[in-house]
Amino acid sequence: MPESRRAWWTIAIVAACLLATLAARGLLTRWPDGQLLARGEFHQVAHKGSGEARLYRLRSGTLELAIRDFRTGYIQNLEVLLIASDDALNNEMVEHSQRAALGKIPASASSWNAKLPSGLDPHHFRAVTVWYPQYKVNFTTAPLRFVHRNK
C-alpha cells in the first residue's frame, strides 16, 4: 500500500476510535430540544457524584429528564428518582419524600434520558436522586433550580 494511502487509513482509524470513545463517554450527546424548566448539579451523599440534571418540556408537551457528564460509584441497579424534597442529604430524606421512579441508570452511563410519566407536575418534584433500592442508599442528589415557572 502506498505511504500516503496508509497515512489516510491511520487517520481514519484514529478518528473512528476517538469518536467512539467520545460517544461512549456521552460527550457527543446533546441536550433535548425543548424548553428548559429546571437544572441542578449532583453532589455527594453516600458516594461521590457529579454531573448535571436538566428537566425539559419538549415541543410535544412531554416532560423529559436529561442527565449529562454523570459520575458516581460503579454499581448495577441504580435507580433515578424525582423527589419532592428540596434536596436529600441522607437516605432518610429520600425515604420520607414523595418519589417518582424514572428507571434504572446503567452503571457506566454518563448520559441518560427519561420521559416523565404523563400527568406528573414537574414543579412538585424539586430534586433528582440516584438511589440504590436494594440497600436503600442515596448515592448522589441534584437539587433542581427552576428557571421558568410557566406550565
Residue 50 lies in a domain: yes
pLDDT of residue 151: 47
Number of domains in the chain: 2
41-65 mean pLDDT: 96
Do 131 and 60 share a structural domain?
yes
Whether residues 24 and 85 share a domain: the answer is no
Question: Quick one: average pLDDT of 63-89?
Answer: 95
CA 62, distance to chain mean position in Å, is 17
Regarding whether 26 and 41 lie in a shared domain, the answer is no
Domain that holds residue 17: 1-30
Give pLDDT tens digits for 93-137: 999 999 999 999 987 889 999 999 999 999 999 999 999 999 999
- Across residues 50-68, what is the average pLDDT? 96
Do residues 13 and 46 both lie within one domain?
A: no
Task: Judge if 3 and 70 occupy the same domain.
Answer: no
Are residue 22 and residue 93 in the same domain, yes or no? no
Q: Percent of the chain beyond pLDDT 70?
A: 83
In terms of domains, do 44 and 101 share one?
yes
Over the stretch 26-48, which tens digit does the pLDDT of each residue have?
445 678 889 999 999 999 999 99
132 and 76 in a common domain: yes
Enter the pTM of the model.
0.80
Q: Is the pLDDT of residue 74 over 90?
A: no
Return d(Cα 40, Cα 55) in angstroms, integer. 9
